[in-house]
Amino acid sequence: MLNKNNLLGKWLFFILFFIATNQTFAAPDPNFHIYLMFGQSNMEGAAPIENQDRITNPRVKVMADLNCSNLGRTYGNWYVASPPLNRCYSGLGPGDYFGKTMADGMPSSVTIGLVPAAVSGTPIALYQKSAPIGRNNQNIPTQFNGGYAWLLDMARKAQQAGVIKGIIFHQGESDTSDPNWKNQVKEIVTDLRRDLGIGDVPFLAGELLYADYGSCCHWHNTEVRKLPGLINNAHVVSAMGLPGMDVYHFTSASYRELGRRYAQIMLDKIDRNSTVSSLSSSSTRSSSSATSLSSSSRSASSSSRASSSGKCTYSITNDWGNGFTAAIKITNTSSTAINAWSVSWSYANATRVTNLWNGALSGSNPYTVTNLDWNKTIQPGQSVEFGFQGTKPNGAPVIPTVTGSVCN
């Protein structure tokens, strides 16, 4: 009887050890794409949440950054994303429509996970690894001595479930025109990438409100635009043409558009081949891509343009003297699908394009834009649109003629 009991005990130990081992070392899902989000109030979300914002997508998840009994959320757990994403009582921010647009732009097999760590009114020093200002009297979980440790803890929890694909950031109002700010941001990004073993994943920094809307801090955009020169694979998300509801914060409509702009750039910059970071070291191991796309296949060449015809419409969406935003809409007017597109245009005066989203830009007067992989197909009667910002001489903007095989 003793031998049987010993044998039973050994088998029970083996089974429990096997279960625990498999739970501890279960591989992250390469189709669960994680994005870190940090900054201050414009990333946290400060605008009213409207009915349209409460429409959820089950393929977009958010990790709770606090224990929020009012939302039924527990710190570190995943939930279907619904505003507020950051904290317990915040408003609408860019993360909401960033997540939705990312999901729309990826295969249905991919789920988007958002990890928010934004705190209203905080200086960039809150997120430095050395914690020079400690918690700064902010409402973050009490076990952390600063924002960096908090964000890192959530990111590591997220890595147990999926793959970190990028970082989005919006901050600067509390550090306006500080020449050292950009160096602090570089230090934070460098530390995060190294400590998480995620390589040079895309880092997107959003601009602050423009002077046209009475912004308190528009001067700081000069510093934001310097980040790509300091940080590998860093990109600036334009706030041009986006109104504010006060001198600091964007309107609900502006947050929606800003979130889409973050996503449009991220969709073009991310590595679509899944790479899972090891939780035990800084090394990485590659797994098969769910999308089977290489970076070279994101945009179509001119030789692959479709023969179907369409209508191309150039429209000015905002104009403020020496600057503008515009959009070009391509509508498929034929009876067959357009499987790739490319359009071109030129300006007769000193008008120049400075930033573009939702397409791949090449050349300069003439400008040529080709599709990205996720928006290359236009079904009959449907449209795609890309937008851009630019500078121009004072006065009425020039409306150029748009040409291309889809602009018959």
289 Cβ contact list (under 8 Å, min separation 6):
30, 272, 273, 274
Q: Which two tokens stand for residue 11?
A: 């088998």
Closest CA to 94 of 158, 168, 30: 168
The DSSP line for 242-311 is: --BSSSS-B-HHHHHHHHHHHHHHHHHHS--S-EEEPSSSS-EEE---SS---GGGSB--GGG--S--EE
Distance CA 235, CA 267 (A): 12
Distance CA 115, CA 98 (A): 12
Yes or no: say if 81 and 60 are a contact pair by the CB < 8 Å rule: yes
Please tell me the total number of residues recorded for the chain in this structure. Answer: 408
Strands, E assignment, 28-130: 32-39, 60-63, 78-80, 111-118
For the stretch 330-342, what's the b/e string if a residue is b when 16 or more beta carbons lie within 10 angstroms of its beta carbon?
Answer: bbbebeeebebbb
CA-based radius of gyration for the chain: 23
Neighbours of 191 (CB within 10 A): 16
The arrangement of strands across the sheet holding 323-332 comes to 310-319, 323-332, 383-391, 352-357
Q: Which residues are catalytic?
A: 41, 246, 249
- Residue 108 is classified by DSSP as T
Yes or no: say if 37 and 95 are a contact pair by the CB < 8 Å rule: yes
β-pairing, 163-170 vs 383-391, is unpaired
